[in-house]
Structure 1
């Protein structure tokens, strides 16, 4: 499974760093932005795949694990640096877990919310991947 961690350009300054996401950083135009916060450490988010939508996950604060599955193999990625994000392409199952206290996950999405783009049942996801 090809996992793509993208380094976000930053401007270093003694007063604090600035991370900049412009059109050339991620391979899609952002059509929706949302973030997860106050997630209990024992909670799991995600639990779905997308048919068309791509996402870019950024740990703005704290850390969390992203469990990815392509229908054949599983891989875990820990996100804990706000200048590095995870690109999740269509057709990849994702679950987010192990949120640290105060963790914030920013998500940039390639499409607006469309329920029919979601695959929320893992068995149906595996069938989708074998077609």
Structure 2
């Protein structure tokens, strides 16, 4: 299983008159075992999140409520994806700079991550990130 840069993944959606259900399975909907789950919420209007890249971490971002934009940059191309459907996730691979913006009121971003938290896995300086890409 492989995903392309900035690929939006359609997740299983089970429709029922009582409400819909969507699930995510490791190694089926994402190309990794899920080691960590976290979510962003109550993001103030006009605030941005992200602004970093990961050396090894892979993620699937899902707008489980509301909407937001994710701008991805792999050093060669930039792409902005608008997430607003809880049955779709955005795959974010390793060595991809990400910036999140335009959070709607009440939005919730659920993130499934391939590794546990490790500060040493982060690039928080864009120029340092670009320098690391050039040595790979």
TM-score tier by shorter-chain length is over 0.9
**2:84 matches 1:80:** yes
1:52 aligned residue: 56
- Which ranges in structure 1 are unaligned for 5 or more consecutive residues? none
| Corresponding residue for residue 6 of structure 1 | 9
Structure 2: segments with no counterpart, 5+ residues: none
Does the 8 Å CA contact 1:4/1:87 hold for their aligned counterparts? yes
Maintained 8 Å contact 1:41/1:97: no
1:43-83 C-alpha deviation (Å, 9 max, x unpaired): 11011000000010000000000011111221110000000
The equivalent of 2:118 in structure 1 is 114
Mapping of residues 19-34 of structure 1, within 5 Å: 19-23=22-26, 24-34=28-38
SS in 2 for 1:42: coil
Partner SS, residue 129 of structure 1: helix
CA distance in 2, matches of 1:16, 1:31: 28
Moved more, 84-93 or 22-31: 22-31
1:37 paired residue number: 41
Measured in 2, the distance between the counterparts of 1:73 and 1:11 equals: 35
